[in-house]
Amino acid sequence: MPAISFQSVSKAYPSPRGPQGSTFLALDRVSLDVEEGEFFGLLGPNGAGKTTLISILAGLTRANSGTVTVLGHDVQLDYAQARRKLGVVPQELVFDPFFNVREALRFQSGYFGIRRNDAWIDELLESLGLTDKANANMRQLSGGMKRRVLVAQALVHKPPVIVLDEPTAGVDVELRQTLWQFISKLNKLGHTVLLTTHYLEEAEALCGRIAMLKSGRVVALDSTSALLKSGTSNLLRFKIDGELPQTLAAQARVTGRVVQFPAQDAQAIEQYLAAVREAGLTALDVEIRRADLEDVFLSVMAANGDEASSPGAVASLQAKGALAT
């Protein structure tokens, strides 16, 4: 029995731009299973349908068709049991301004009928670096500290399935490291983790399997290692001070001064470097490397007609945090 199962899930919303009565299909017959104990990644550009899928999983939104289960419990027909098995860390910083951190965690425990769990609350506070903030009012916390409290709230009832929706968006490196150490520990203890993130190096390091969404459809689903093997075998990467000619730029991925070309062999590498020299430019910090998950992601999106994957859009996406550098 899978920890999470999505079967032919579709969701439509009224279209804000089309004629009256028209709809926008946010999810289109999405089917995938997350097995118990997995660390599973759900990736996609903004608007791909990731948060909609998680909202349906958490019971915050109803699908138009299809079924979703958590450890065999249907999220609509058996909502109470499905929600009890689930801990969700949302994107938004939602908090009650009238309580301190410890009180907020105690109230969250009460929603699941749990009392006198201060020992676990203390462990959460310590593991997430919140011990010295336990008696601080939620309004006094920084954005990063509020994010830590959201994680603690999601875990306070010890759910076997943990869902993290962009948990490190806009937070500092220290929190990212603290969070991943703790979540990885829970995963090793048997908890299932479903992660959505725009930081692709996180997904590559943490997730055993990955699904990629584009326009509400699953366009890739495989183990992380298999996805990486599907990428270009080698990549030529260097920096330049200047602008590539259009003929070269059309073949490259350019992010600021950094230029990257797919390079299958030594001959292709030399041809690219020669073309750069002929354009009057100097290639600096030249390196040959293997494709990473970001390269695979962009390739998959481009193969499925996503405009966000064009070379000219990459720098914009990275600047907005939609892709990791």
Per-residue model confidence as pLDDT tens digits over 190-203? 999 999 988 898 99
142 domain-assigned? yes
Q: Residue 127's closest CA among 105, 108, 109?
A: 105
Going by pLDDT thresholds of 50, 70 and 90, the confidence category of residue 317 is very low
pLDDT tens per residue across span 281-308: 888 899 888 878 888 898 888 887 744 3
Q: What's the domain range around 243?
A: 230-319
Please state, in angstroms and rounded to a whole number, the distance separating the CA atoms of residues 218 and 31: 8
Read off the pLDDT of residues 48-68 as tens digits, 9 standing for 90 and up: 999 999 999 999 999 999 999
End residue of a domain, out of 228, 254, 286? 228
Residue 245 lies in a domain: yes
Q: Are 27 and 131 members of one domain?
A: yes
In a domain, 205, yes or no: yes
Note whether residue 287 is domain-resident.
Answer: yes
pLDDT, position 260: 85
Overall domain count for the chain? 2
237 and 213 in a common domain = no
- pTM strictly above 0.85: no
> Same domain, yes or no, for 94 and 215?
yes
**Judgement on whether residues 17 and 95 belong to the same structural domain of the protein:** yes
| pLDDT score for 219 | 93
Q: What is the mean pLDDT of the chain?
A: 85
Burial annotation 244-276 (CB, 10 A radius, 16+ → b, else e): beeebeeebbbbeebbbbbbeeeeebeebbebb
Average pLDDT over residues 236-256: 86
Tokens describing residue 36 = 């118990």
**193 lies in the same domain as 213:** yes
Given 163, 193, 228, the domain boundary residue is: 228
Q: Quote the pLDDT of residue 322.
A: 33
325 within domain boundaries: no
Helices (H), the chain: 50-57, 79-84, 101-111, 118-127, 143-155, 173-188, 200-206, 224-229, 246-249, 266-278, 293-303, 311-319
How far is it, in rounded angstroms, from Cα 284 to Cα 256?
Answer: 13
17-41 tens-digit pLDDT: 767 767 888 999 999 999 999 999 9
Check residues 210 and 323 and name the one with the higher pLDDT.
210
Task: Report how far apart the first and last C-alpha atoms of the chain are (Å, whole number).
Answer: 37
pLDDT digits (tens, 9 = 90+) for 158-183: 999 999 998 887 777 877 888 899 89
The DSSP call for residue 24 is E
pLDDT at 95 > cutoff 80: no
Task: Using the 3D structure, point to which of 211, 228, 245 is the last residue of a domain.
Answer: 228
Label residue 101 by pLDDT band (50, 70, 90).
Answer: very high
